[in-house]
Structure 1
Amino acid sequence: MTDRKRGYGGVSGSSKDALVAELREATRNRRQRPEAAETPRPAAQPRGVKPFDFSELPAYRELRMQRAAADMMGIGNPFFRAHAGMAGASSVIGNRSYINFASYNYLGLNGHPAVDAAAKAAIDRYGTSVSASRLVAGERPIHRELEARLAAVHGVEDAIVLVSGHATNVSTIGTLLGPKDLILYDALIHNSVAEGARLSGAARLSFPHNDWKALATTLEKIRHDYERVLIVIEGLYSMDGDMPDLARFIEVKSDNDAWLMVDEAHSLGVLGATGRGIAEHAGIDPTSVEIWMGTLSKTLSGCGGYIAGSSALIDFLKVKTPGFVYSVGLAPALAAAAIASIDVMEAEPERVAKLRDNGLFFVEEARKAGLDIGLSQGYAVVPVIVGGSAQAAVLADRVFQRGLNALPIIYPAVPEKAARLRFFVTSSHERAEIAEAVRITAEELAAVKAAGSVLKQLVNR
């Protein structure tokens, strides 16, 4: 029997029948095994297309050059060193114990028995995560307990806790201000504030460090051009260890119908007789400041950030701030650790007093040794300013070899000529440890400078 007339595409009738039968059989098999039909085929890779090689980024090339230069000079990488256990006044790195000034455990509460016990109990009750945004299903009583305690510490109505200190500033500032507004911040403000200002789309200006007069002059000239104005300062500056004249900044913001935000990341637990921050230290009514910001990672032995202020501010942020609305709620153990840390801080003000004594002692010893501590007032943060970034890196390596862990702060975190070693002083340090740290730093800095002078002489010959 001859083949039937050819059908579509030149396929014979019999061949087409066989093809249809085959397709029907395949369809029946897929129905019996639905998972086979749901499994997508891998997309074919276009020929000649390769993923981007990020090592080609100019910034990465520069980083590799810096690392190569450090290797040639025999300088170990001071960053990402693994600590074998809890980092306190001393720490074990690579099976060796070091005097440690690189951790901001200001009141020695990280590892405190009451803090550890509270964190463990929270895990037993809530688990390690709340597994959702607080807005939907992550809310737990411990969150509101912590927020109430933070509000009480700052003397305001309410607070909101977020999972990242950096994101707290970025998200809050980015939410509250917009293109018709102005943000003015201290020239030495933390990166998170600058990033939040950029995100907001508002006009942004920096003013000279702690210079409330310059701020007032600027506002007199341009305040009328904007709807809302936010001024941002820190309670204790994390790179320099000094503080603003809070009363004067409150006067400036009041005279110019502006909001004032104070970042207390490094001043909570440090300033004030009971560690409540710069308002307590300066004897200022805390309700005269619109926005208080802080972190849980320094004094409060956890991780995360918070905003404290009026009930209206907090209600607004809880439904509008992306860093809160679209992020998982704070881990229960961290909330519990922060609450317990507040308990100990309030019950043992002698920790705050010991920290203050240690800070002043460090400053006195450093000055005697001829070290440049810049603007530091001896409140927990003390820089030793070296000069260039290379010198700071060399000094950090040299003191590390002698059993002292203090990290370099280099450009762009600080200006190139103001590179430094930064010392975080805690209440757990003993005077002997502080004196030893200053002695080692002074000796090694002298050696670094001497080597630099010899090198200059050789170059100039």
Structure 2
Amino acid sequence: MITIPYLTALSTYFSYALLIFFGYSRDLVRKIIDWWWNDTNLQGYAPFCLGFEEFYIRRLYMRIQDCFGRPIASAPDVWFDVVERVSTDNNKTLKRTKNISRCFNLGSYNYLGFAAADEYCTPRVIETLKRFSPSTCSSRVDGGTTTLHNELEESVADFVGKPAALVFGMGYVANSSILPVLIGKGGLIVSDLLNHKSIVNGARGSGATVKVFQHNRPNHLKKVLREQILEGQPRTHRPWNKIIVVVEGIYSMEGELCKLPEIVSVCKKYKAYLYLDEAHSIGAVGKTGKGVCELLGVETADVDIMMGTFSKSFGSCGGYIAGSKELIRYLKHTCPAHLYATSISPPAAQQIISSIKVILGEDGSSRGALKLARIRENSNFFRSELQKMGFEVLGDQDSPVMPIMLYNPAKIPAFSRECLKQNVAVVTVAFPATPLILARARICISAAHTREDLIKALEVISKVGDFVGIKYFPAEPKKEEIGSIKLE
């Protein structure tokens, strides 16, 4: 749970109140002018966009949109090329220039460093591209299943410790299309408060009743399940046809590990199915990279449905669902993402297969084990150093995702732009991806980062943090200072 300093919360609320007041005032003046001059071409039409989110995008987000969606002109490696953009209309439109900045990459999900050229993966991907072409140009059930897809599904199932798996061309689709197939009217989905948007959309589209439990609170999950089982379905109070609890391995905006052992225990007690999204944890944590089950000592048999993506640790794209053979057989006949969507491209499939072999040491080297050890060391080192500097950093040990809290809306563009001036590329996250007053910069650590580069990045972030004013806690004294104090 995030505890916001009182003065910080007060200034943040005041800043948003001021921005919202002036924004709505300008909108009111614009409406009066349009009414007076009858200046509209859409009389009688309902507006396409309404509500606070539309207002927020137009009046707040657009003013700082240069901090988001920055185009790059290279592979998302440790260092990458960021394309400069300029605006002549107060950020309503952005135009690319020919100027390119070489920046240290702290924003990509390149957890194990496979997104750049790899001595084992890249030659095999190029060979696959020559043999199979860039796309199958078909869905899986038509002409879109190659020998690589079958091999990939076997590799994924073995890697995550499940009898079978099904792969998709997009990770977002795995959640949003699978949940409506698994459960419908008469069913109950109990979802963590901070689950990803793909899970939220999948749950809403299922037709099932959706209940939310407090983030990472097994005791509240127990309370919700007990109450819902006692009450039953709305109006009829009949028993639920099915109950599915949905959680994430590592929460992408918090960097926190799921309290999986406790949640498994609750699900067993109340006979609820457990759906685990490992988009950010598979390949990145655990002794052999097999995710939170391995890290927290949970048997994969205790998790009914395991979902994950290939766009983080594996340097590719797509997602998967792993479970029992009966489950996967059912999904192959009912899931629209499998029946109608274009299958994952053969080169992307080969990249995943090759990276899994490297992680498991099947390439004949120990590079996989070294990568896993390095990302763990880098993550823990970077987090501890940020905390020593006085930043408020979310997340758990071993997690490669570490949000730095910004809070105030003025500090979002200030932190992002100042870091970019120092050739450090960071990702800032604001509403609606987070609650309005909980804006943050999300740092993603990679095994490809060297200790020297991380130290330089920490120096830049420390200077920018002082300039912007986001060191909300007193910094710890350095070892030399501690030693001198003792001598005195």
- Secondary structure at the aligned position of 2:441 is classed as strand
- Secondary structure at the aligned position of 2:406 is classed as strand
- After superposing on structure 2, the runs of 4+ consecutive aligned residues of structure 1 that deviate more than 6 Å are 48-56
- Secondary structure at the aligned position of 2:211 is classed as strand
Which amino acid in the other structure matches residue 149 of structure 1? S
Residue in 2 aligned with 1:223?
A: 229
Q: Tell me the alpha carbon deviations over residues 125-160 of structure 1, each in whole angstroms, 9 at most, x when there is no partner.
A: 211111211112211111010000000011110000
- Structure 2 CA distance, aligned partners of 1:164 and 1:438? 34
TM-aligned CA deviation for residue 60 of structure 1: 4.9
Give the unaligned 5+ runs of structure 2: 1-40, 84-99, 233-239, 362-367, 471-488
8 Å CA contact 2:311–2:317 kept in 1: the answer is yes
- Structure 2 CA distance, aligned partners of 1:354 and 1:292? 26
Which amino acid in the other structure matches residue 285 of structure 2? L
Which amino acid in the other structure matches residue 391 of structure 2? L
- Secondary structure at the aligned position of 2:104 is classed as strand
Q: Does 1:100 align with 2:105?
A: yes
Q: Does 1:305 align with 2:311?
A: no
Residue in 1 aligned with 2:437?
A: 417
Q: Does 1:280 align with 2:286?
A: no
8 Å CA contact 1:162–1:304 kept in 2: the answer is yes
Give the unaligned 5+ runs of structure 1: 1-47, 71-75, 451-461
Map 1:105-120 onto structure 2 (within 5 A): 105-110=110-115, 111-120=117-126
Structure 1 length-normalised TM: 0.82
Residue in 1 aligned with 2:67?
A: 78
TM-aligned CA deviation for residue 290 of structure 1: 0.4
8 Å CA contact 1:55–1:61 kept in 2: the answer is no
Count of residues in correspondence between the two structures? 400
Which amino acid in the other structure matches residue 211 of structure 2? L
TM-aligned CA deviation for residue 119 of structure 1: 1.6
State, as a whole percentage, how many aligned pairs show the same letter: 30
Q: Which shifted more, 60-69 or 241-250? A: 60-69
TM-aligned CA deviation for residue 435 of structure 1: 2.2
Pick from 333, 336, 341 the counterpart of residue 319 of structure 1.
333
Which amino acid in the other structure matches residue 178 of structure 1? G
- Secondary structure at the aligned position of 2:321 is classed as strand
TM-aligned CA deviation for residue 68 of structure 1: 5.6
TM-aligned CA deviation for residue 445 of structure 1: 2.5
Structure 2 length-normalised TM: 0.78
Residue in 1 aligned with 2:268?
A: 254
TM-aligned CA deviation for residue 362 of structure 1: 0.4
Map 1:381-396 onto structure 2 (within 5 A): 381-396=401-416
8 Å CA contact 2:256–2:394 kept in 1: the answer is no
Cα RMSD for the two superposed structures: 2.2
- Structure 2 CA distance, aligned partners of 1:120 and 1:49? 52
8 Å CA contact 1:250–1:288 kept in 2: the answer is yes
Residue in 2 aligned with 1:63?
A: 57
Larger Rg: 1
Answer 1 or 2: which has greater helix percent: 1
TM-aligned CA deviation for residue 167 of structure 1: 0.7
Residue in 1 aligned with 2:186?
A: 180
Which amino acid in the other structure matches residue 107 of structure 1? L
- Secondary structure at the aligned position of 1:138 is classed as coil
Residue in 2 aligned with 1:194?
A: 200
Q: Which shifted more, 422-431 or 368-377? A: 368-377
Map 1:329-348 onto structure 2 (within 5 A): 329-347=343-361, 348=368
8 Å CA contact 2:379–2:398 kept in 1: the answer is yes
8 Å CA contact 2:419–2:460 kept in 1: the answer is yes
Residue in 1 aligned with 2:133?
A: 127
Q: Does 1:355 align with 2:369?
A: no
Q: Does 1:206 align with 2:212?
A: yes
8 Å CA contact 2:68–2:428 kept in 1: the answer is no
